[in-house]
Amino acid sequence: MTVPDQGEMEKTVVGGLSALLGPGAVVTEPHELARYEQGWRYGRGAALAAVRPSSTEEVSRVLAFAAARGIRVVPQGANTGLVGASTPDATGSMLVLSLERLSRLLEIDPVDRTVVAGGGVLLSQLDAALAEQGLLFPIDLGADPTVGGMVATNAAGTRVLRYGDVRQNLLGVEVVLADGTVLDLMAALRKNNTGLDAKQLFVGTSGVFGVVTRAVLRVVPRPAQRATALVGAASGATVLQLLSHLERGLGDVLTAFEVVSADALGPVFRYQPRLRNPFGAALPPYTVLVELSTTLPSERISLDDLLESTLGALLEGEAGEGITDIFPGKPSDLWDVRHHVSESHRHEGEVLGFDISVPRSSMAVFVDAARALVAAEYPFIRVCDFGHWGDGGVHLNLVWKKDEAVRETPELKAELQPRIYDLAVTSFRGSFSAEHGVGPHNQAFYDRYTPALVQEVCRTLKARLDPQGLLGTTRLG
């Protein structure tokens, strides 16, 4: 009797999967496989194959097949995650389970204000379909993820202040467990208070407890109008004061409150000359993108007028102290500036990104502390911070030119990460991952900062839901 070598085992697996789903569903050619092995920005590995089922039933068959053979599987949506949780590891022995073909199901109930969507439906696809019905799924972010991926990473973005994250807009899910069992939690109910809300186990847990194949989402009436302005602020404290002031008066129509520091904004105008810089050479320490939106028609109330007069009045009162500039502008233009921030930093040199949150009243102090930490010991690094101050979220990009650094990039990153995370988590009771979730990219910090008891609960859940430990590359316990 001969022991089959790895090549033969691969052939058996690929053959078996092709027999299950048809040959078109299994990807093995290196040039086709590459996009399943490489993340959008982070994460790279080597897969045995990628398999693309086109129904829940097929997902179930693939997982049952893999479980029977002890093959590890990484679920993948649009592969736009930022923590490396949707790509295989380097062993070449994992199967990528792509949900991209679960994209056809998209049922909108306008009276219910809910959508049933397949796990592979793209955010852009969802948005286009909803727009036709005057509805909106209020998650807004730079990438175009799938519904399943958004559930598994609890996607958030720029309008959480007003609408909440995916968790808060999710009514039901269908999940396939590692052994192929289909768990139907697809209740389209806004109120359903019957013990443990089991769907929460699959939100933000990187697919390690099960694969999200369908979801029921709650959607909102699409705004009829939108008004935006850039506001210059002399300090972080001024920004927080502005936030409180605007929330009190405009709380119901304030949809976004995005903040970009001068260091973070400079590169945008340097590398995107087509974008208009209303400030000129001297950027204010902080620029705030304020967005109002409402379903109320402009004949009732004009948000442009409301925003302009509110900001104008602000300048005259005490709350306006430290406000340096006010530039109303077209929403698409101003969001264009905001959405080019992160990308522009990559033109400046090496970037080490952090996705931090702190209690939002501590934001200004936290960013100052991070700046002080860096300035004291790494004078060649610029702290380019920007983010969702309305939600206490900040993307802290540390940027430096390679040739000015005292150490090699990997060494420097390894040194900086624990220091910044420790400042955020330990000194400010913040989070080491505000919205990107958990994956190999930040696994070490998950291990360090997650209470032992929570990790133990996750281990207990994993032992029941995926006893062989086959699903995903993230380890929650």
Give min distance, CB of 1 to a copy of itself, in A: 40
Give min distance, CB of 21 to a copy of itself, in A: 25
Closer Cβ to a copy of itself, 134 or 418, answer by number: 134
What are the structure tokens assigned to 373, written together?
Answer: 């930490």
Closer Cβ to a copy of itself, 124 or 361, answer by number: 361
Closer Cβ to a copy of itself, 218 or 371, answer by number: 218
Q: Contact 148/119 with Cβ under 8 angstroms?
A: yes
Closer Cβ to a copy of itself, 27 or 161, answer by number: 161
Give min distance, CB of 165 to a copy of itself, in A: 7
Give min distance, CB of 433 to a copy of itself, in A: 5
Closer Cβ to a copy of itself, 13 or 136, answer by number: 136
Give min distance, CB of 422 to a copy of itself, in A: 15
The amino acid at residue 365 is V
Give min distance, CB of 182 to a copy of itself, in A: 10
The amino acid at residue 55 is S
Closer Cβ to a copy of itself, 98 or 114, answer by number: 114
Give min distance, CB of 32 to a copy of itself, in A: 32
Give min distance, CB of 104 to a copy of itself, in A: 22
Closer Cβ to a copy of itself, 181 or 272, answer by number: 181
Q: Positive or negative, the Cα torsion across 252, 363, 331, 315?
A: positive
Closer Cβ to a copy of itself, 200 or 277, answer by number: 200
